[in-house]
Amino acid sequence: MDKNFNIVDLFFDAAGKYPEHIAIIDKKRQITFSELEKEIQDTACHFLTKGIRRGDRVLIFVPMSIDLYRIVLSLFKIGATAVFLDEWVNKKRMEECCKIAQCHAFIGVSKAHILSLFSSEVRKIPIHLGTKFISGSKNNLTAMPVLPHDTALITFTTGSTGTPKAAKRTHRFLHEQFKVLAQKINPQPGEISLPALPIVLLINLAVGSTSLITGYKARNPDKMNPDKILDQINFYKVDSIVASPFFIKQLATFTIKHQVKFPSLKKIFTGGAAVFPGEAKIYQKAFPKTEIEVIYGSTEAEPISSIRIEELIKEDLFAKGLNVGKPDDNVEVKIISLQKGIINCADETEFQKIIISDGSIGEIIVSGPHVLDAYFNDEKALKQNKIFVKGKCWHRTGDSGFLIDTTLFLTGRCNTLIYINHKIISPFLYENYFQTIAGIETGTILEKERKIIAVIEPFPGFDKNEITEQIRKIKEPLLPIYTIKWISKMPRDARHHSKIDYEKLQRLLQ
């Protein structure tokens, strides 16, 4: 065993170098690296006395907070596996996830314990604990030695349909992901970051950077208070933000309206959904002196590529797809022919047959050290989402796109592409075009009886006749719109509230 392979050692190294640096700012509470290190020590001892051991899977239902990271790092320290469910998950999905994970312990806030009383699957878990711990432990535990392939984290993709996939992140995988993301985001000791994405806060803890947790709740995105968050950014002199496009757009829109200035803000990174040139212009107008970068990736591979908004804005009238930049140096990207079902390639020769040439639309696949190569207890998901060629794993992103001269372009999810008159129609092209029309918040297209239907969410108070007139002026390469459906609120993904939920949209229109 490599006694230094436990991912928690990255935090302890940072705590040793920067003991008095603030690790996390959470509401009115702050905690230094040395204080957090001591709380992790006490919590790890507490977990051991309660019967949690190396290799045990522990379901965690705690919102983003100091408590959450104390608990997670304590579990890593004793070699246990942290199992996460999204905070907006419903009872049915929670029980499906519990059946897959087969956890030995459950740790949650009071509300989670009340809800767990109504779940037979959660009640089956042997150990139930709250977030409190016994302080003052005299035991000086060292981090439990782990093997590189031991599981550190399990997170679920909890969409509204289908069986959730349990993404299994080993200690080796987290080391690789941390290394690549740290190169991209480049957090520095002593800097103050606002990471709205949980994995980024772990990276900050590994390098000695301070993380600010705002009051933003992913389960209630419509209740976001950009004014309060912007006040926090200026009060704490935040250097960088890493958040979803929805989060950044809300801040940007409020900033423009109220002419707020941010003298300390140097960097913004956003990802988790497409950012079209029109939206990138809003970012640039709101934060003119800030470096802004859009990262393309997925749960199983983050990052894949990235693009600065200055370059993205140049693509204002893209003809075939959305420019998401050049692939990261640590990842290989290829485009394969569009096909449903499992793909098996016996050797490199068979694999090369499914790869298509530059400029042709196909499915994006990726390979690299920070690309997830396993799911927990889910052989079906593994076969559907991975292609193994002589032991090398290629992840099928489910996204369509194409490469031109090493630059990657997106054309939307493979299952949203529309086929009419031997042409592949990308909803992305229409979604970008709709963003250029005054009065449209967002819009997309669906296919019905081989005709293109526009679905539009207008801004309140705008004249639908004027919007219709602009939509009717659509030009090639876009096909004409047959009819327009109006919707008060476009359904969005629960995780980032940034992607259109096409399946739910179809059901709403039915």
Tokens of 136: 């003052």
Asked if residue 76 and residue 165 are part of one domain, the reply reads: yes
Q: Has residue 386 been placed in a domain?
A: yes
What range does the domain containing 484 cover?
417-509
Contact 496, 274 (CB under 8 A): no
Q: Has residue 260 been placed in a domain?
A: yes
CATH number of domain containing 371: 3.40.50.12780
Asked if residue 402 and residue 294 are part of one domain, the reply reads: yes
Q: Has residue 2 been placed in a domain?
A: no
Distance from C-alpha of 361 to C-alpha of 163, rounded to nearest angstrom: 28
Asked if residue 107 and residue 31 are part of one domain, the reply reads: yes
- Residues present in the chain in total: 510
Asked if residue 460 and residue 359 are part of one domain, the reply reads: no
Q: Has residue 181 been placed in a domain?
A: no
Contact 323, 407 (CB under 8 A): yes
Q: Has residue 291 been placed in a domain?
A: yes
Q: How many distinct structural domains can be found in the chain?
A: 3
Which residue among 367, 386, 412 closes a domain?
412
Of the candidates 306, 323, 216, the one whose C-alpha atom is nearest the C-alpha of residue 267 is 306
- Three-class SS state of 222: helix
Side-chain-facing half-sphere of 245: CA atoms under 13 Å: 23
Contact 493, 475 (CB under 8 A): no
Asked if residue 328 and residue 241 are part of one domain, the reply reads: yes
Asked if residue 459 and residue 359 are part of one domain, the reply reads: no
- Three-class SS state of 51: coil
- Three-class SS state of 172: helix
Asked if residue 386 and residue 249 are part of one domain, the reply reads: yes
Which residue among 146, 169, 192 closes a domain?
169
For residue range 436-482, list pLDDT tens digits in order: 899 999 999 999 888 899 999 999 989 999 999 999 988 877 888 99
Asked if residue 467 and residue 387 are part of one domain, the reply reads: no
Which residue among 412, 434, 457 closes a domain?
412
Asked if residue 480 and residue 434 are part of one domain, the reply reads: yes
Three-state secondary structure string covering 468-483: HHHHHCCCCCCCCCCE
- Helices 198-207 and 171-185 pack at an angle, to 10 degrees, of 80
Q: Has residue 308 been placed in a domain?
A: yes
CATH number of domain containing 129: 3.40.50.980
Compute CA 455 distance to the chain's CA centroid, rounded to the nearest angstrom.
Answer: 26
Asked if residue 134 and residue 42 are part of one domain, the reply reads: yes
Q: Per-residue confidence of the chain (510 residues) as pLDDT tens digits?
A: 344 689 999 999 999 999 999 999 998 799 999 999 999 999 999 999 999 999 999 999 998 999 999 999 999 999 999 998 876 677 788 888 889 999 999 999 888 888 778 889 999 999 999 999 888 777 778 888 899 999 999 998 755 456 788 999 999 999 999 999 999 999 999 999 999 988 999 999 999 999 999 988 777 777 889 999 999 999 999 999 999 999 999 999 999 999 999 999 999 999 999 999 999 999 999 999 999 999 999 889 999 999 999 999 986 556 689 999 999 999 999 999 999 999 999 899 999 999 998 889 999 999 999 999 999 988 999 999 999 999 899 999 999 999 998 999 999 999 999 998 888 899 999 999 998 899 999 999 999 888 899 999 999 989 999 999 999 988 877 888 999 999 999 998 877 778 899 989 999 887
Q: Has residue 195 been placed in a domain?
A: no
pTM of the predicted model, to two decimals? 0.92
CATH number of domain containing 424: 3.30.300.30
Element (H, E) at 488: none
Beta strands in 132-184 (DSSP E): 151-157, 165-170
Asked if residue 427 and residue 406 are part of one domain, the reply reads: no
Asked if residue 405 and residue 275 are part of one domain, the reply reads: yes
